Amino acid sequence: MSAADALLFPGFAQRRVTTSGAEICCVIGGSGPPLLLLHGYPQTHAMWHKIATRLAERFTVVCSDLRGYGDSSKPDGGERSANYSKRAMAADQVEVMRSLGYDRFKLAGHDRGGRVAHRLVLDHASAVEHVAVLDISPTRTMYGQTGKDFATAYYHWFFLIQPFDLPERLIGSDPVYYLRKKTGGWGSAQGIFDPRAFAEYERCFAKPETIHATCEDYRAAASIDLEHDDADVAAGRKVTCPLLVLWGDKGVVHRCFDPVNDWRAVAVDVRGRALPSGHYLAEEAPEETLAELLAFFSN
- Determine whether 279 is an active site residue: yes
Q: Taking Cα atoms as reference points, which of 263, 279, 280, 294 lies closest to residue 121?
A: 263
Polymer length of the chain: 299
Strand (E) or helix (H) holding 287: helix 286-297
- Determine whether 135 is an active site residue: no
The one catalytic residue among 111, 217, 229, 232? 111
CA distances from 239 to 34, 61, 128, 265, 293 (A): 20, 23, 10, 10, 18
E strands, 45-127, where?
A: 60-64, 105-110
Q: What is the C-alpha to C-alpha distance for residues 119 and 228, in angstroms, rounded to an integer?
A: 9
Q: What is the C-alpha to C-alpha distance for residues 160 and 69, in angstroms, rounded to an integer?
A: 15
153 and 181 Cβ atoms separated by less than 8 Å? no
Q: Which residues are catalytic?
A: 111, 279
